[in-house]
Homo-oligomer: A and B are copies of this chain.
């Protein structure tokens, strides 16, 4: 299949007007039930066509007995049927002019039986001839949050906030993990794509497609192993630094590597080789799901720092020290303020405060102008490349975040501002949402993770400079 047809049809796949569910069910024991629930409860605004010859209607929607019975055009077919009937169904899809397929069914290349691999090869040829991009097989599906399209067997994915990070993952488990983590720390995704056994849509295709996706500002990849890593690296080099790409790869351990072969049929390969090749290709390599989410969140919300000199402005000394340790070990340095900046801060904060960098704004909790003035002075100081703002809620400082957020939102951002503003659930959520949605800063669950995210922005800046 040529690339331009593939990408044109991927556009239909992610933005369909009509979606058919082949294997739709009203039995909660079946995945076809959950897929129908994902589409309907997720608020999809196009036409949903449940296909099931044995039932008249599912979730209040009339069924068709086959996809070809539906009178209108179908852009996306989601298939949740036993593996052995899928080739015949693919041919129906081709005749119907379906543009894209999400193939949830399992029982292909991942099983021990060689018939699985043969079946997958048959599907590959059918899809190629028909020019149909296929997400899967053996996937939970995909979600285009910006279009309220949840084409997966997990309706709860629709609870994730709409955001700028596209997740492309070789594991359904890790996609769910990232989704639930995002819910808990209010990170937002544009798309979540479960590659499964990747018939004809693999990392290379998804990365190329997402580089032109207006909804996506950063890519987060979860990788177990690759069949053709060289091809991926070539693809990456073509588009590198167009948008930041972060990768988390498991299989560094002996056991993890063996498990990868069993899981997706792909050899995980030597961890260090991947790491080196990824760096060359401009991909940022991280070591955990938390770091994958944090790095993508920072890259989606912040410009890169021009240098390594940072300011730490903290509401309490302890979290500032914790952050300072992490920043220093991540290659960042604590900026020495210009004399004018330091003078201004000394005037604004009382003599009880630690006023040199890291600046303890604690004694100014009640004093919004002092906090705002300190932040402004530091942002305007050209000896500062990035700013870390830390504030633990403590009742008495309840108003502090609202106090400085208006200024931060108005400030035309040219430096990264990363923070850990942390309160019991519900207290600062609105202010933090506004700050992140307004592009004023990226927020993280702990001071150390905020500091690490800032270190990652700097690491990425250096990676760009070297290449």
Contact = CB atoms under 8 A, between A and B. Distances in A.
A319 B171 contact: yes
Given A328-B254, A396-B31, A259 B321 contact: yes
A324 B256 contact: yes
Interface in A333-362: 334, 351-352, 354, 357-358, 360
Contacts of A180: 392-393, 422-424
B446 A288 contact: yes
A222 interface: yes
Contact of A425 (B111, B183, B354): B183
A37 B112 CA distance: 64
A253 interface: yes
A201 to B, nearest CB: 18
B317 A259 contact: yes
Interface stretch (A13-21, A154-162, A296-304): A154-162
Given A153-B395, A181-B446, A392-B176, A352 B106 contact: yes
A329 interface: yes
A272 interface: no
A24 to B, nearest CB: 15
A352 to B, nearest CB: 6
A252 interface: yes
Nearest to A171: B318
A107 B353 CA distance: 11
B321 A224 contact: yes
B184 A325 contact: no
Given A181-B445, A259-B354, A423-B180, A156 B393 contact: yes
A262 interface: yes
Contacts of A29: 366
A289 to B, nearest CB: 5
Given A173-B319, A174-B322, A424 B253 contact: no
A269 interface: no
B325 A395 contact: no
Contact of A177 (B159, B317, B360, B447): B447
A465 B375 CA distance: 51
Nearest to A315: B173
A394 interface: yes
A176 B325 contact: no
A209 to B, nearest CB: 22
Contacts of A155: 395
A320 interface: yes
A328 to B, nearest CB: 4
A324 B393 contact: no
A311 B252 CA distance: 18
Contacts of A37: 395
Contacts of A319: 171, 173-174, 177
Contacts of A264: 317
A385 B392 CA distance: 39
B253 A328 contact: yes
Contacts of A422: 176-177, 180
Given A154-B395, A177-B422, A262-B354, A255 B171 contact: no
Contacts of A156: 393, 395, 423-424, 427
B183 A253 contact: no
B396 A34 contact: yes
Given A250-B318, A256-B328, 5 more contacts: A171-B321, A177-B446, A253-B325, A259-B320, A288-B448
